[in-house]
Amino acid sequence: MPVTESLLDHKVLDHKVLGREFKRGFAVGQARFLRRQLEYRYKQLPKWVADKLATATSAQIEEWAIRSFNKKSLKAIFDRD
């Protein structure tokens, strides 16, 4: 039987506890992936970058990921926040 629903569209996101935890886990995964990309490009990251990634929302991480393609420095990627 094929899966026809996306987990992101499922009612779990509306659940008071599970939805919040799922969204936070999703953001943690995004932050981990962006961190690996930035470490590949800039080598060791400063503490302030790690702090920003640790507390960021999913929307912030997505914005930083997009900026990372055309910005030349970490400051330029994270500057607007």
From first to last of its 81 residues, what are the pLDDT tens digits of the chain? 565 555 555 565 666 666 777 777 878 889 999 999 999 999 999 999 999 999 998 899 999 999 999 999 999 999 865
> Given the structure tokens 């929307």, which residue do they identify?
59
Maximum distance among all Cα pairs of the chain, rounded to whole angstroms: 49
Q: What are phi and psi of 73, to 5 degrees?
A: -140, 160
Cα–Cα distance list, 13 to 1, 16, 35, 55, 61 (Å): 23, 8, 25, 20, 19
Residue 46's pLDDT is what?
A: 95
Residue 29's pLDDT is what?
A: 87
